[in-house]
Amino acid sequence: MTEHSRVVVVVARCSRQPGKAFGIRCERSEGTSWSGTWAFALRESAAEREGYSQSIEGSLSMDAAYPGCPSCMRGGLAVCGSCGGASCWGGELGEHPCPWCGTRSRVEGEITRLRAGGDR
């Protein structure tokens, strides 16, 4: 992983259909601000081969052009406070079930750290 890459693909799972993974193209605008600009369906096995297991540090907001989760079309993104996995989110407050580890956690505020795929 290079420290200078400006575009990374983060792997997320659909929280309504946990078997469905998707990739989120994140572009760094400046410093540690990232914006999610695109989402596409992908298979997790393929994601590993492509080296998509990258993480980003910083804040992530979704671009106006972000199309939403390819499976359920929801445009938000939640990051699990327990495992750091990303999943689609409909913007509702309250408990959000993490499709990676099964933890139900409260979605709060903005995303400051995101881990993708397998942790290494």
| Positions in the binding site for Zn ion (CB under 5 A) | 14, 69, 71-72, 80, 82-83, 85, 88, 98, 100-101, 103
Nearest distance in Å: CB 90, Zn ion? 8
> Is there a contact between 41 and 22 (Cβ–Cβ < 8 Å)?
yes
Q: How far is the CB of 12 from Zn ion (least distance, A)?
A: 8
How far apart, in whole angstroms, are the C-alpha atoms of residue 57 and residue 113?
Answer: 5
Answer whether 38's CB lies under 8 Å from 22's CB. no
Q: How far is the CB of 83 from Zn ion (least distance, A)?
A: 3
Q: Which is nearer to Zn ion, 28 or 75 (CB)?
A: 75
Q: Which is nearer to Zn ion, 59 or 83 (CB)?
A: 83
Place of tokens 């505020």: 109
Sequence-separated (6 or more) residues with CB below 8 Å from residue 96? 15, 78, 87, 89, 104, 105, 106, 107
Our CB check for Zn ion shows the closer of 52 and 85 to be 85
State whether residue 120 is helix, strand or coil. Answer: coil
Closer CB to Zn ion, 36 or 85, in the complex: 85
Nearest-approach distance from CB 71 to Zn ion, in angstroms: 4
